[in-house]
Amino acid sequence: MAGDGCTLRFADPLARLAVALRWRLLPSGLLSARAELLNEGNAPVRVHWLAALALPLPGWASDATQVHGRWSGEFGLARAPLATGKLEKVGRAGRTGFDGAAYLLVGDARLSEERGRCFAAHLAWSGNARSFCEALPSGERQLQIGEALAPGEVSLRPGERHETPEALVAFSAQGLNGVRRAYHAELRVRRAAAGVGVGPRRVHFNSWEAAWFDFDEPRLLELARDAAALGAERFVLDDGWFLNRRDDARALGDWTVDPARFPAGLGRLIAQVRELGMDFGLWVEPEMVSPDSDLYRAHPDWCLHAPGQPRPTQRGQLALDLRRTEVRDHLFDALDRLLRDNAITYLKWDHNRDLFPVPGGARAQVLGYYDLLDRVRAAHPQVEIEACAGGGARLDFAVAARCARAWVSDNTDAVERLRLHRAASLFYPPELIGAHFGAAPNPTTGRRLGASFRARVAIFAHFGIEADPAELTDAERECFAAHVAAYKRRRALLHGGVQLYADTDDPGVTAQLVVAPDGAEALALLARVDQAVPAAGPPVRLPGLYPAARYRLTLVGPWPMPAARHLADPHWWRARPVLDGALLREVGLRLPLVHPETAWLVHLERVRGSA
């Protein structure tokens, strides 16, 4: 044992195996755990399972919460009692996956946002994962998490070692908010050390849901002008810019600018975007190849495949074999040339399919991805990278420490995002999570939401817009521009403060807030999706405020309608009242939260001279 860590060593003299468990307590409060297996014998050993973390659980651990999901429905939470038997999840998609095997929480029966005890474990690994809780008839309980290995994927010759990816675990006696504090603090330290996500998180405009594949240079310039007028600071050109790419069935791998769309290359568009005061980002999906592409015709053996077997596509594409050095070198050269030849400051790096078949296992593929990503980052440190995988199918601490932004879902519907952000925030801070003001009706769900609700949900993340500004009404444009201005004023708070959720007496109300580390200010979002049954709901308590301090409250405009018509005393609110922190924490704040799709933004500023 040394300092803040310890190594536990175990040996089996008959099997000729040795295991070292390395645990380290991090300043954030997280425990970092790894395991290493050493073959001390004379014969090869195949590794079937080696947990990065095997944690005995106390008697109060009565409930387990797993993360589950699918495309456009990421980060669902499923809670179940921990009864005798095993509650297990295995991800074999070759990437972190939608279905959340890299996460597992175990808590007591009273666990909520603000109360109860829990352990929350995460595997910082971008490949296959396995996690489970097990309760024995004798009463013992345990949690294990680690990499899911394919048969024969890891075989140790005599003298060889195998080390697991890192597992992280938080303990909280202050409910799920304690989990958030620890994971957010740790990720911020890691990102700062790596120089990732430094500086204000710029307002994005993404072209995808505004233009799809139907664009040319004049159309994009029109979108750029409209986006700049709304306050956007970064223009991201999504899929469709490269040679022969007119739909999602062809051309992946041919990373050459399409002269039919861009006769002068990308340079002229980029220059015009920069003249509008925005920087320029570009979508890429370097790990994939279309069967209908020049790259595939030249190198059909470069994709993942089983020799002599069919090559099944997903979304019309195949995955390149990043285990091969020549494939990674080719992709690096293509990305490096693109970034050297153009003033691109941002890449939206996508990954739109699971990895199959992967003879021999996906571990080396994941390591190849890390190698390629790290090479690009080292060669172009000024370029920020967004992690996307058909939404949130590749998000974990290994990715989040390398990528400035994560696109957690292709679903921009604010109702779905309200739920999704709450779950994702257990592990990831708001500055990492990309969230956009989408169109109405929403292209994924068909739901038509008011502009204020769409903007206010997205503002509690890394804010942007993914809709055609020309199709917005004047009122919608005005509303969005007002929230862009509010975001710019408050993003230092949103992306540097402590994110908390409140336990609400009305389960239809979501209450989240970000409190400055010194308690000097806070921004709260109080929202509901459905119609309330009672005519007046209960007050909403605001955790995290200093109880001895006094706070000046501002209802950030524009006030949501029709809820604003039900304020008991609008003049009192316009006067920016001052209330005690203890009152706001223990009694709460009553605002009209009866109508569906209502969202209030409340700014709280500590009055000088109060504690």
Average pLDDT, the chain: 97
Q: Is 477 a residue whose pLDDT tops 90?
A: yes
Q: What is the pLDDT of residues 329-358, one digit of tens each?
A: 999 999 999 999 999 999 999 999 999 999
The span from the CA of 128 to the CA of 110, in Å, is 32
Equal CATH topology for 5-183 and 204-493: no
| Catalytic status, residue 248 | no
The span from the CA of 350 to the CA of 387, in Å, is 7
Q: Which residues contact 360 (CB under 8 A, 6 or more apart)?
A: 150, 152, 153
The span from the CA of 383 to the CA of 234, in Å, is 13
Instruction: Grade residue 3 by pLDDT with cuts at 50, 70 and 90.
Output: low
Strand partners, 462: 434
Which pair of structure tokens corresponds to residue 319?
A: 């995955």
The span from the CA of 326 to the CA of 317, in Å, is 20
| 47 CA to centre of own chain | 31
Q: What is the pLDDT of residues 478-532, one digit of tens each?
A: 999 999 999 999 999 999 999 999 999 999 999 999 999 999 999 999 999 999 8
Predicted confidence at residue 536, as pLDDT, reads: 80
| Catalytic status, residue 410 | yes
Residues of the chain above pLDDT 70, percent = 99
Q: Tell me, what amino acid is at 410?
A: D
Residues of the chain above pLDDT 90, percent = 98
Please report how the helices 414-424 and 451-459 are oriented relative to each other, as an axis angle in degrees rounded to 10: 20
Catalytic pick among 354, 396, 410, 413: 410
CATH of domain 5-183: 2.70.98.60
Q: Of 2.60.40.1180, 3.40.50.300, 1.10.3720.10, 3.40.220.10, which CATH number belongs to 499-606?
A: 2.60.40.1180
Say if residues 435 and 203 touch (Cβ distance below 8 Å).
no
DSSP string across 316-377: TBEEB-TTSHHHHHHHHHHHHHHHHHS---EEEE---S-----TT-SHHHHHHHHHHHHHHH
List the chain domain ranges.
5-183, 204-493, 499-606
Fold classified for 204-493: TIM Barrel (3.20.20)
Predicted confidence at residue 13, as pLDDT, reads: 96
Catalytic pick among 350, 354, 396, 413: 350
Q: Is 138 a residue whose pLDDT tops 70?
A: yes
First to last CA, the chain: 41
Long-range contacts of the stretch 401-405 (C-beta < 8 A, 24+) = 401/124, 401/187, 401/190, 401/191, 401/194, 401/196, 402/194, 402/196, 402/370, 402/373, 402/374, 402/377, 403/196, 403/349, 403/373, 404/196, 404/197, 404/432, 405/197, 405/201, 405/432, 405/433, 405/434, 405/462
The span from the CA of 242 to the CA of 6, in Å, is 52
Q: Which residues contact 44 (CB under 8 A, 6 or more apart)?
A: 155, 156, 157, 158
Q: Is 1 a residue whose pLDDT tops 70?
A: no
Long-range contacts of the stretch 107-110 (C-beta < 8 A, 24+) = 107/61, 107/62, 107/63, 107/65, 108/60, 108/61, 108/62, 108/63, 109/62, 109/63
Count the Cβ atoms, other than its own, within 10 Å of residue 66: 21
Instruction: Grade residue 533 by pLDDT with cuts at 50, 70 and 90.
Output: confident
Predicted confidence at residue 609, as pLDDT, reads: 76
The span from the CA of 357 to the CA of 306, in Å, is 6
Which pair of structure tokens corresponds to residue 128?
A: 């296959």
Output DSSP code: residue 402. T
Residue that has been written with the tokens 């992946």 in this structure: 252
Could you give the angle at the alpha carbon of 285 between the alpha carbons of 281 and 289, nearest 5°? 150
Kindly report whether the global pTM for this prediction surpasses the value 0.85: yes
Q: Which residues contact 208 (CB under 8 A, 6 or more apart)?
A: 238, 239, 283, 466
